Amino acid sequence: MAPPGLPYFKMNGIGNAILVVDGRTSGFVVTSSTARAAAAQPGLGFDQLMAIGRPRDGHRDAFVTIFNADGTESGACGNGTRCVAWALLRDSVETAVTVETAAGRLACRRLGPLRFSVDMGSPTLAWNAIPLARAVSDLQHVPLRPVAGLPADLSHCAAVGMGNPHAVVFVPDVAAIPLAEVGPAIEHDPMFPARTNVSFAQVIDRSTIRLRVWERSAGATLACGSAACATAVAAVRAGRTDREVRVMLPGGDLAIEWRAEDGHVVMTGDVVLEHAGLLPAEVVEATG
């Protein structure tokens, strides 16, 4: 049981609904039950809950556990990590912070009052680490089972790991894709044993991509930072874009760079604080 006064910040990263819960002072540990209870509260609904805990490594500032609204855990959330960076740096003169997640270390930097960059690390480009169900010779052409609503000539995707699995499908017009029908089918494609985030990408030019995303365990979202990163990587690997791109999502734009010098993907964008408060007792008491 947590002591009274467990703070939260209701935020969004270009429309990606984020709930940040800070348990460092109390030692409170957010669980799947906490996340589900919080998601059911009016005004607290989220795509991802970012639970800030005490650092497990002396060289980090915090350990962050990421939950989807259904209580399942996620390995990465770039938009949520920018919100965490804001929460950790809001009362500090420092401009950099390093957090640890299940997917590894993430270095964050404040570029303005509400603008942050996150070094998301290197993409995973090994079939068994993404993971896929079986070896595939070309991760840019991973076969998909036929899906109603998806043109027959778009029967494959690019697979990329960015702390969680991503399937990227390049299409001529993202607006023409029936996301609510096609997204769940690809999310549960047997090729992805842990399920997958699904991105439909329209390359506008060598520095611009329009993107719509179906998130694993969250559904259609206004934005997904790790999906934007995975899409940029897939686009560069296919020779479609340069290494620095603007990714246009329904909630806003992200600047993505896949650095040549170290292979890391850096994501930059704004965050918004909607409101802050203390978690209701029924949410805290749901923890188990």
Mean pLDDT of 4-31: 90
- Kindly indicate the confidence band of residue 252, based on its pLDDT and cuts at 50, 70 and 90: very high
Domain ranges of the chain: 7-117+271-285, 142-263
Task: Report the percentage of the chain scoring pLDDT > 70.
Answer: 95
Q: Is 143 exposed, middle or buried (0-12, 13-18, 19+ CB in 10 A)?
A: exposed
pLDDT at 118 over 70: yes
Model confidence pLDDT, tens digit, residues 70-86: 999 988 899 999 999 99
**287 compared with 26, residue with greater pLDDT:** 26
Q: Which of 100, 101, 94, 164 is nearest to 129 (CA)?
A: 164
User: Virtual CA dihedral for 61, 70, 169, 238, nearest 10 degrees?
Assistant: 20
Exposed e or buried b per residue across 35-62, where buried means at least 16 C-beta atoms within 10 angstroms of its C-beta = bbbbbeeeebebbbbbbbbebeeeebbb
Environment class of residue 113 by beta-carbon count within 10 Å: exposed (0-12), middle (13-18) or buried (19+)? exposed
Minimal CA–CA distance to 283: which of 74, 25, 41?
41
pLDDT for the residue numbered 288 = 61
**How is residue 259 written in tokens?**
């650095």
DSSP labels for 68-107?
ETTS-EES--HHHHHHHHHHHHTT-S--EEEEEETTEEEE
Q: Is the pLDDT of residue 36 over 90?
A: yes
Strand-pairing partners, residue 156, are: 143
The answer to whether residue 2 scores a pLDDT higher than 50 is: no
Could you say which DSSP state residue 176 is in?
G
Question: Which residues are catalytic, by number?
Answer: 77, 224
Residue 1 has pLDDT above 50, yes or no: no
- Looking at residue 220, its pLDDT comes to 93
Q: What is the pLDDT of residues 133-167, one digit of tens each?
A: 999 999 999 999 987 766 776 789 999 999 999 99
What three-state secondary structure class fits 32? Answer: helix
- Residue linked to tokens 């350990």: 63
- Give the best-scoring range by mean pLDDT among 45-59, 90-104, 198-212: 198-212
The Cα 35–Cα 227 span in angstroms is 22
pTM of the model: 0.91
CA distance 269 to 40: 28
pLDDT of 119 above 90: yes
Q: How far apart are CA 160 and CA 130, in angstroms?
A: 6
CATH architecture, domain defined by 7-117+271-285 = Roll (3.10)
Q: Do domains 7-117+271-285 and 142-263 have the same CATH topology?
A: yes
* Per-residue confidence (pLDDT) for residue 153, from 0 to 100: 66
For the cut 50, the answer to whether the pLDDT of residue 22 exceeds it is yes
Cα-to-chain-centroid distance, residue 86:
16
What is the average pLDDT score of the chain?
A: 92
Q: Which residues pair with 273 in a beta bridge?
A: 11
Least confident range from 149-153, 161-165, 227-231, 270-274: namely 149-153
C-alpha 53: how far from its chain's center?
Answer: 19
Contact 14, 251 (CB under 8 A): yes
CATH number 3.10.310.10 is the correct assignment for the domain at 142-263: yes
